[in-house]
Every structure is written in C-alpha cells, then in structure tokens.
A and B are shown apart, each in its own frame.
Chain A
C-alpha cells in the first residue's frame, strides 16, 4: 500500500532522502499542470514548478502533519505563480477581488441545472474548454481547476486561497455562471 504524504514527509525529515523523491514523483505532474493552467499557459511553468518544489523542500520542517499536504503544496504553487505574474506585471490583483462587477443576485439565482447537456457535449473537446478556461478570470479559473481538475474540496480550496468556505462556494458558482455564459454565447 502507498504511503501517505504525511508519512513520506516524516520519513524525509527523519533522514530518508528517497521519501522526498517519492513526493516529487507523486505531485510533479499535478503541480506542473496546475501552474500551467492557472497562469494561462506561460512558458515559465517549468521554472515555477521547480521553484514550488524547492520552496516545499526548504520549508518542509514548517509543514504541520495535521494539515493536508496537497493543500499546502498547491498553496505554495499558487503563491509562486502569483509572485511571478505580478513581477511580470501582466497580472492585476483586481482579478481576484470578490466583487468585480459580478451580479450577486444573478449568482444566487442561477441554477446550473438549467444548462442544456448538448452545450456541454459541444465544449467537451479539450481545445474548446482550454480556450474557455483561459478566457475566465484567474480567480474563477483557479477555483474550477482546483475543484474539478485536482479534486480538492471547497474547504481545502478555502485554505489555499485563504478565503472562507462560503466565499469559495460563491466564487465557484460565479465561475460556473461565467463559464455557462461563454458556452451559451453565440459562436
């Protein structure tokens, strides 16, 4: 049976160097993909992934074994990507503001079940969904990616984004509305 992340971290801290390599094997692809999608497909994904794992190694002693390692690692990945994008100056923090012109009433009234299945079948092609995702605001994109692509719960996402559970749920709902609008928009 595979060892848990916590077990591997403890083993590494107790001097077993192979354990960090196992952690790296387990998370290299998910972290790489998350950074790539989150940052909109930048060419520096490789460097940012490297930086993420280096920081994780550097601060591993500070990791609380009671916490979820995946959440902790994705928090580092997200912060690393944000720092880089901010330095590149093609990233605005207003993209992450909660009330950025979105209609709260629409968000709460929206029923995702009303969307026709056919629309989804049309966009289930990878290149279409990829294009739509890139059009989404980063704050929406990250919630959708973390939830649907990396199987994190809203609670775990809240820890990564440092936002309350309700805010994450509302952000998720608005992300779905935005996505639905794009899907429904005339081609």
Chain B
C-alpha cells in the first residue's frame, strides 16, 4: 500500500528550475564574498594607516625609555671599559637586561608586525577591489 502512495508522488511532474537560477545564486554568493573581502580590506587598510602613524611615536617612546633606564650608559661601557666587561660579563648582561625597556620594544614590534600582516593581506586581495562579481567565484 505504501507503494501505491509512493506511485502517486512519482507521477507529480518535476519542475525544472529556470536555467539562469544557478548563475543567479552563484552571483549573489560572489557579491557577498566581495563585500566581505572589501570590508576586511578597509579594516586592514585602516590598520596600516594607524600602524604607520604610530610607528614614529612608538620609536620616540622606545628611544626615550632607553635613555631614562640608563641602558645607554651601561652599553657604552663596552667601548670605554672592555676589560671590566669581560671580567664581570654576567653582571653586565643582567644589568643590560634589567634596563632594557621591554614594554616599549614589545609595543613597537607588535605595531610593525601588524602593519606587515595587513600589508600582506591587502597586497594579496587588492585585485578584488575592482574585479567584476562574476570573476570572484573563480578565485
């Protein structure tokens, strides 16, 4: 009996979707992909601009931190009193490490790293900015 019901449904004609529908769906997805890439590109471009603008103040801050911490004074001993450095190299290295402005250096390198990453992404995806939608799916 179930077979009879099955037969009823087998006889329902299958409707073919319009031939353009598949292309329309793929185009819509491509458009959404493109919008997504453009949003990310805009965000990354902003990161690059802000990052580059922050590099100079970050460098100044690190340079000032080096001066304030006395790192340069310890470092200059290498040239003025090489003998003592060799004799007390462990203490000397500890003093250098102690006066190193770690925070400033981390901030500076983080900015440089972020800018480089953003530059890499923008360079890789910049072709999508002007590319017509129909080509996006092929990438």
Interface hit among B14-22, B64-72, B111-119: B14-22
Residues of B within 8 Å of A54, CB to CB, are 25, 28-29, 32
- List residues of B (1-46) whose CB comes within 8 Å of A's CBs: 1-2, 4-18, 21-22, 24-26, 28-29, 32
Q: Give chain B's interface residues, CB within 8 Å of chain A.
A: 1-2, 4-18, 21-22, 24-26, 28-29, 32, 137-139
Closest to B27 in A: A50
Report A123-166 CB contacts with B as 1/0, cut-off 8 Å: 11110011001000000000011001100000000000000000
Q: Give chain A's interface residues, CB within 8 Å of chain B.
A: 17, 20-21, 24-25, 28-29, 32-33, 36-37, 46, 49-50, 53-54, 57-58, 112-113, 115, 117, 120, 123-126, 129-130, 133, 144-145, 148-149, 176, 179
Interchain CB contact (< 8 A) of A17 among B13, B16, B137: B137
Contact A125 B11 (CB under 8 A): yes
In angstroms, Cα B25 to Cα A148, docked, is 27
Contact A112 B21 (CB under 8 A): no
Contact A50 B24 (CB under 8 A): yes
Residue contacts A-B, CB under 8 angstroms, 12 given: A21-B22, A24-B22, A24-B26, A29-B14, A29-B17, A33-B14, A126-B11, A126-B12, A133-B12, A149-B9, A149-B12, A179-B5
